Amino acid sequence: MKKYLHLLLYIHLTASLSACQPHLPVKQSTSTNKHTMSDKQAYYSRTDTSQLVLKDEEWKKILPDDLYQIARHANTERAFTGKYWDYEGLGTYYCAACGNALFKSDSKFASGCGWPSFYESIRPTSVKYHEDKSYGMIRVEVVCGRCDSHLGHIFDDGPPPTGKRFCMNSISLDFEGDEEKAPTGNAK
């Protein structure tokens, strides 16, 4: 009986931890994702919400390789290695490829899956969804609503009020803290 329980626990943990990780692990660059706006390519904007359509060769030219592999080829960073999976800063998460606002930190929760997890996007149009039948699974892929870059997947095991878990790659996200937006404020 004990053996059986251990087996069940092992299967559960394996399934939950591998939910987002069917792809080859991506080697992350040593550079931090904390770019200043001047580091960004010309298409990056946190205010322009118009659709951004670029050819693959252009994306390859303007994005760091680790971001390019995830954003444009749906790869996945290794669990528990990204900079945001257990990050608790207060602020906003943007698409690292184009600057589109995606999530607020108040919708982030500790899923324990090894990737940053949110229960809702900032706006319904911040993201788009595609059916993903790769790797013998049926999942729902989440892409940026502005530039169609791959962000991760969404699952139905999140907390209230939505019950959703947006399971995202840290590399696909740029974080800006609330205090960075309002340097004169006293907010922590």
Summarize as ranges the residues that interact with Fe ion (CB under 5 A): 95, 97-98, 100, 144, 146-147, 149
CB of 147 to Fe ion, least distance (A): 3
**Which residue in 20, 98, 147, 167 is the catalytic one?**
167
β-pairing, 108-109 with 150-155? unpaired
Show the tokens assigned to 165.
Answer: 């878990």
* Pick 70 or 113: Cβ nearer Fe ion: 70
Assess whether 144 carries a catalytic annotation: no
CB of 9 to Fe ion, least distance (A): 38
β-pairing, 165-168 with 117-118? antiparallel
Which residue has 């974080």 as its token pair? 175
Q: What are phi and psi of 90, to 5 degrees?
A: -95, 125
Q: What are phi and psi of 58, to 5 degrees?
A: -70, -45
CB of 71 to Fe ion, least distance (A): 8
Q: What is the set of active-site residues?
A: 167
